Structure 1
Amino acid sequence: MKSSKTTTKNKRKIWQMPWGFPESITIVCGIVVVGSMLQLLLRGGFNFYLLAAPVNYYIGGGLILTCIGLSLLKKNRFIKWFSGIPFSISLIMAFLLLSLIMGLTPQLTGEQTNTGTIFSQLGFDQMTHSWAFVLIYLTMLLALGVLIAQRLQNFKWKDYTFHAYHIGIWLVLFSTGLGHADMERYIMHVPEGETEWRVYDASKNVKELPIAIQLNDFDMETYPPQLTIIDRHSGAPQPKAKPDFYSIDSENSSGMLNGWQLKLEKYIHQAIRNSDSTYREMPMPGATPAAHISMYNPSTGVKHSGWVCGGNQAQLYMTLPLTEHLSVVMSQAEPKRFRSDVILYTPNGTPKKAIIEVNKPAQVNNWMVYQYGYNNQAGQLSKYSSMELVYDPWKTAVYIGFGLIALGTIAMIWNGKQIKHKYTNDKQPLEI
């Protein structure tokens, strides 16, 4: 009986130091609640553009000094808890939960406004700008920074895995958050054969950039088009319930379209009109796909043959009439690949030649130039190419952070294998 009383008496109460998971979870939930209240009271999320340079440099320097200063108080119980495992895990779980909500919720762009629902008013549809997310992010940055500063005070080379991984994470969080305000993004339309350096900003005002693009040539490759039968009056593909389409393929020159047997006699991917009803191959601007086909209806015995062409801005389309109500038509060729041959100019650099394609951008200084689009109606005849220009002076720090994370991860895997190998070799066989 006395032992039971002693156990009850020695049991740690909540909010009694040292704090553990109950206190950590409570405080993290409190941070989220405070962030949500700020979101409702201020009627909007945090404006990261208030941190544009040089403000972010001052704040970044203040964060680093704060982390170093707090790390010197390593004997303080509060600092031990602040940089300890229970609080870190609680912060990570809150961060992951908010990120999961962000991934499952359609996010609004800067030009869109909230829908008026409580879910939207709390900022969940603009999660990275919500006060709850920002406060959790800032607290993670401080807690992780204090932990790193404490470990660096007693630096040991054998802890390189810890330092690489944690410094990498901190550097990515630090750079992406504070560097967001310095990022610029524009769409530039460059006419073929000309040089452009002007764009429109978010307010639709003309802005001159310190980078210019000269478009030497815009080139596009397309997939072979499709054939289908349509109603000549409504233009609807047949049959209406489930339209039939034939993808032009030289290895499979036959198919069925709405009960008609189709045979591909000849296909020219780059063709021009040879007469009112014929085509010939001519690789040149304005050329368009054309196919000579034969159509046969087994139920009626009717046969038709002729050329079909989808047309473009340079050439008229051509159809093959089958009946009073039906015709065979060719769809517009879908783009397979499009690229821009450009020269990039900067004030203090030499001109840089580049071929820009989708997922193959060009980089000059802190600018990334992406292939964005073209005149969709003109297709291959587009007289301009659209480029997306992204300016991010913090991207080098982000790349270094990811490099350190990768190095730390590889080191953890390697060290784990070494420990397992040592354990296997040192393990004594069982005696039977």
Structure 2
Amino acid sequence: MKEGFLIGAGVVAAGLVLQLSVGRVVWNTFAWPVNGFVLVGFFALIAIVSLLGRRFYVCQFIGSNRAAIPALFYAVVLTIVMGLVRQDGSGSWFSDMLSFWPFVLIYVYIALILGLVIIRRSLRFRWRRDIPFMLNHLGLFLAMTTATLGNADMQRLKMVTTVDEPEWRALASGGAIVEMPIAIELKRFIMETYDDGSPRRFASDVQILTKSGKRIQTTVDVNKPVKVDGWKIYQYGYDTQMGAMSQISILELVNDPWLPLVYLGIYMMLGGAVFMFVLGERRKRI
């Protein structure tokens, strides 16, 4: 365990050196196809470390519980810090933990440990005993890696729509104008209020035009996004001065092409939990 904590501390220290020397992690540099090459390279690293495990003690050690438990400890501590500090990217290290090198490297280290454990278990795989284990660990590995690398490809844009005026341009967080593959025309802004006049519900009746020429009439409501051609369209805001008479509606458009893989990993973990329950019940009966 002492070795595991020392290695974990070394990973955190390496992250601090990177944070001080090159600044925060710039995820945009990992956009496709770079993240694809990184993922392939990471798989190759896991395979190499696994092959060297018989010759080098450190490679064998990394895939053991003595490395995993301390790594999880550091990950939990950093995750708690992320939960306690508001993540608004205000400039401090802890306000943007997803771009904080020690946080990122610790989770990369955990993914490496997971990969090694999966390979070693698969070499002595037994169906009934190892199906829950493999589903849980493969699911966690898939969710972690794709969520991290897919972060570079996720687009979160704002579109200001006006009644009876089709709009195909959206704004990125930095203020850049992005031409969209879909056009949205606001037909009617909807607002329902409480007795005191405060908004109870607001939504937008819109017409969406796709590249294929398809016209979609739908309503975008708060917490009820509309899915079109890989984009999720959320109700975001409106002209607060006009209130129910607002002639504009602000929509948020989100595209995350890696999200299905993240969901697949989550479903695999759920499947592993179900298998553990079923097999556990059978053993009790026996």
Please, what TM-score do these two structures have when normalized by structure 2? 0.92
CA distance, structure 1, for counterparts of residue 213 and residue 49 of structure 2? 44
Confirm or deny that 1:130 pairs with 2:110: no
- RMSD of aligned C-alpha atoms? 1.8
Report what 1:165 is aligned to.
136
CA distance, structure 1, for counterparts of residue 200 and residue 215 of structure 2? 29
- Where structure 1 has 5 or more consecutive residues not aligned to the other structure, the ranges are 1-20, 115-119, 226-332, 423-432
- Where structure 2 has 5 or more consecutive residues not aligned to the other structure, the ranges are none
Report what 2:210 is aligned to.
346
Q: Which amino acid aligns with 2:162?
A: P
Confirm or deny that 1:393 pairs with 2:257: yes
Q: In the TM superposition, what is the alpha-carbon distance from 1:29 to its structure 2 partner?
A: 1.2
Q: Which amino acid aligns with 1:397?
A: L
Deviations along 1:336-366, whole A, 9 cap, x unmatched?
1111122323324733332211110011232
CA 1:351 to 1:152, structure 2 compared with 1: closer, same or farther past 3 Å? farther
CA distance, structure 1, for counterparts of residue 151 and residue 94 of structure 2? 19
Report what 2:274 is aligned to.
410
**Partner of 1:369: helix, strand, or coil?**
strand
Single out whichever of 33-42 and 382-391 deviates more from structure 2: 33-42
Assess if the C-alpha contact under 8 Å between 2:50 and 2:60 holds in 1: no
Decide which structure has greater helix share.
2
CA 1:351 to 1:401, structure 2 compared with 1: closer, same or farther past 3 Å? farther
Higher RCO (CA < 8 A, seq sep 6+)? 2
**Partner of 2:152: helix, strand, or coil?**
helix
Deviations along 1:299-356, whole A, 9 cap, x unmatched?
xxxxxxxxxxxxxxxxxxxxxxxxxxxxxxxxxx011111112232332473333221
Report what 1:213 is aligned to.
184
Report what 1:53 is aligned to.
32
| Aligned ranges 1:358-373 → 2 under 5 Å | 358-373=222-237
Deviations along 1:152-195, whole A, 9 cap, x unmatched?
33333221101111111111111111111111111111112221
Please, what TM-score do these two structures have when normalized by structure 1? 0.62
Report what 2:148 is aligned to.
177
CA distance, structure 1, for counterparts of residue 136 and residue 229 of structure 2? 28
Decide which structure has greater strand share.
1
CA distance, structure 1, for counterparts of residue 269 and residue 58 of structure 2? 28
Matching residue within 61, 64, 68 for 1:88? 68
- Larger Rg computed on CA atoms: 1
**Partner of 1:100: helix, strand, or coil?**
helix
Q: In the TM superposition, what is the alpha-carbon distance from 1:83 to its structure 2 partner?
A: 0.9
CA 1:388 to 1:181, structure 2 compared with 1: closer, same or farther past 3 Å? same
**Partner of 1:39: helix, strand, or coil?**
helix
Q: Which amino acid aligns with 1:28?
A: G
Deviations along 1:121-158, whole A, 9 cap, x unmatched?
xx222211111111112111212112212223333322
**Partner of 2:69: helix, strand, or coil?**
helix
